[in-house]
Structure 1
Amino acid sequence: MTVVLSIKPEYAAKIFAGEKLVEYRRKSIKNVEKVIVYVTKPVGKVLGEFEVAEILTANPEELWERTSRIGGIGKEAYFEYFRDSEQAFALAIKNVKKYEEERELKDYGLKMAPQFFAYV
């Protein structure tokens, strides 16, 4: 399946630059093969996509140990993001494609940015 994820501009830039090889999430996303990257405000556009190689699941401490070198996020921000979470998820990124032209959410049948994710 394909999902649209809302990703902050700083992290989206790292994904498209090949510096961020996992995308962290607090909620599980099942059966996802492709992610459409919606970059949050001030950009507010769909800029590209990537395929999901695998979905990693662990407690936040273990996932940090396994992915910190490829996560594109600092330790403090990571643990703040997963504060009060018993489980953490990471989408392993492969085959990143940045679109030549920006796209709108409406191109995917969405009226607003998904808070967590939206299947399309």
Structure 2
Amino acid sequence: MTTVFDGMAGVMAKAFGAPVLYTPKSGEPVTVQAVLREGPIEVAGDDGRAVLILSPTLQVPKNVLPDIARGDLVAAVSAPEKVFLVLNSLPNGSPAADAMLICELELVDD
């Protein structure tokens, strides 16, 4: 079902995101436009209340990386030396077809 929110995640990723190198556990790396943050973010929990995520996060439209999974790797193209491991991915609760996925990350030690 089409909603007024369809297309907004892509717009947000383009406006506030940057190129990110995504490497699945099996497969070839691809560059996508996403929002990679190392600082805390606030998201809505299952009950609608604010939840603070202290880990680094990746926010990407679910239609861009629908198969992102635990164990995959991401790195900002501008800082490829900092590689992050995907711990989990959760929908942000939007009904839009291209809603953002919020992925909790962990910095991979050298």
In the superposition, the TM-score normalised over structure 1's length comes to 0.37
- Say which structure, 1 or 2, has more relative contact order (CA 8 Å, 6+ apart): 1
In the superposition, the TM-score normalised over structure 2's length comes to 0.39
More helix by share: 1
